[in-house]
Chains A and B, each alone.
Chain A
Amino acid sequence: MRYADRLGLVLALPLIAGFALPFAGLRPNRIAAPVAEWLPHIFGWPAAAGVALVAVAALARSPLRLPLAALAVAGWLALLGLGASRLAEDAPAYARVSPGAGFWLGLVALVLLLADALARRKPAPVARLALLAATVAVLALVLRLWPDVSVLQEYAARRASFWAEAQRHVALALGSFAAAVVAGVPLGIAIQRTPRLHLPVMNVLTAIQTVPSIALFGLLILPLGWVAANVPGARAAGIGGIGMAPALVALFLYALLPIVTNTVAGLRAVPPSVSEAARGMGLAPRQRLLRVDMPLALPVILTGARIVLVQNIGLATIGALIGAGGFGTFVFQGLGQTAPDLILLGALPTVALAFAAQVIFDALIDLLPGRRP
């Protein structure tokens, strides 16, 4: 086992499949069945062998695995773009080149390899933020090579609406997140101080979580429609049964449980000796809460906030079903038209956004004073 470790050997399987299965599919039009294209067919055998060599070098056991894996991932993505342009050259105007099973499997293998190499280095929080920024920069460069990949063609066809939906998506996720923090933290503090309230509040919040998202979004149409019809000024403020308002309220309701639970857990974890010492120093209850208890509970509360933000970014896609917009619009349109590229156009940014939110939040939590990464 000098040249290979178990991980490299296991990941070699999907990578081999990545070479053996079609790398891309060429379709005569947007929804037709694809004609399979293999990597050597697209680039010729010498180039394909070169690619395989880099991949094998990254799989081998060596101190260079991290840079090699990073290079391989970026290279794999670039290959799809270059290959798509090459295939599109001799194809009719309406033809689409979309990623094939081989591309996806190879990408998964290489990304897992990269993730493992990164995890073993245990990067510090600032380094993680820098890595995220570097990833975004590399992706932006790679996507410039993708003008002939079907997903980007879908994007080019609806550039303006893509960014409008992106804004709505972020507004839905961040707005409900902010509201849940503003309401949830005081609620957590309150029920931690009055144990009588604890069980009923938690029961209600847990029950809300069990209502499936599409139903909760739908059920809020009724009360918000009533508000719009009966409260003066509500309709002018954009509150209505359909659109952003019910989606924001639904996301807010789902977000409350993790925030309240973690606020209570964080406050409970404050050592009694510390609270006693603060009392002994003559701090008033409010000062104790703000200067002693809350700072100590902050990491746990922020963990709850992270869970909520990541969850809301994902759930906001459902908002599209009730006309709230967001990336879900493309997902559901794509499902309706059986256009996989359109589904990807909605799903990939959502995943990227949730991923980035998780990295940033985790790094911030680790950067808090008194925390060791």
Chain B
Amino acid sequence: MKRWPALVLLAAMLAFLLRPALFVPLLAPLAPEGAPVIYDRAGLLSLTLAHLALVAGAMVPATLVAVALGIFVRRPAGEAFLPLSRVVTGFGQTFPPVAVLALTVPVLGFGTWPTLLALFLYGLLPVFENTLAAFSALPPSVVEAARGTGMTPRQRLWQVELPLALPLILDGVRTATVISLSTATIGSVVAARGLGEVIIAGLTSQNLAFVAQGGVLVAVLAILLAQGFALLSARLR
């Protein structure tokens, strides 16, 4: 994999976040006459960090819960829940993110919490699905061999099965993270702090320069994070 495009992208993003004034000529044609070109109601750097914190705050617990659930339904104790969990993951994805977000607002009110909950719920599915797939794809010979060497079930899980399943689980985390980076922007409709704020401000004041800088920042974050995950899972394989 070539690394330089990602590094160039990272450098460009950092330059934009730290010295946005350098990019004014690029974005100025998109802004209406006399309107600000760079979003000025909050710092882009702090909004980017808030955005990432929102995604991380949802994805870390979602990953832990989804992997634990995935392992649970493959054990004898949890087998009773396997058919149901497959149905729920299949149909869970038919719930549009906006609907999840909108439906959590009446329960949790406006702000960060409904967004966190929606991102958490939405992040569960891909990770859970990939955990199930990863554990089904374990070579039976390896699992048998581990059993043959007298490892306890717990040792087999931590020392053999999880390390083998990890790359595929990480792919699920990558998918979920990219989706939630984009979904988090919708969170700004319910007043969560993040880059969506910039896009929404652009849409309401007809300032496409805002829409472009918010949108491109999120897209670049998604590409960089996806690259990072791909690198990590390639190293683990």
Contact = CB atoms under 8 A, between A and B. Distances in A.
Interface of A: 5-7, 10, 101, 112, 115-116, 118-120, 207, 209-216, 218-219, 221-222, 310, 313-315, 317-318, 321-322, 328, 331-332, 334-335, 338, 340, 343-344, 346-347, 350-351, 354-355, 357-358
Q: Size band of the B side of the interface?
A: 35 or more
Contact of B200 (A101, A214, A314): A214
A358 B178 CA distance: 23
Contact of A335 (B102, B211, B216): B102
A277 to B, nearest CB: 31
Contacts of A338: 110
A7 B190 contact: no
Nearest to A122: B83
B214 A354 contact: no
Interface in B203-237: 203, 208, 211-212, 214-216, 218-219, 222-223, 226
A210 B209 CA distance: 18
B180 to A, nearest CB: 11
B80 A207 contact: no
B233 to A, nearest CB: 17
Contacts of B90: 358
Q: Which 6 A-B pairs have the closest CB atoms?
A: A314-B96, A215-B215, A340-B106, A210-B222, A218-B211, A212-B182
Interface in B69-100: 77, 80-81, 83-84, 86-88, 90-91, 93-99
B95 A351 contact: yes
A212 B199 contact: yes
A218 B98 contact: no
B202 interface: yes
B91 A214 contact: no
A45 to B, nearest CB: 28
A215 B199 contact: yes
Given A7-B80, A212-B219, A321-B203, A222 B208 contact: yes
22 contacts: A112-B84, A112-B88, A115-B87, A115-B91, A120-B83, A212-B199, A213-B185, A215-B212, A215-B215, A219-B215, A313-B96, A314-B94, A314-B95, A314-B96, A321-B189, A321-B203, A340-B106, A347-B103, A350-B96, A351-B94, A355-B91, A355-B94
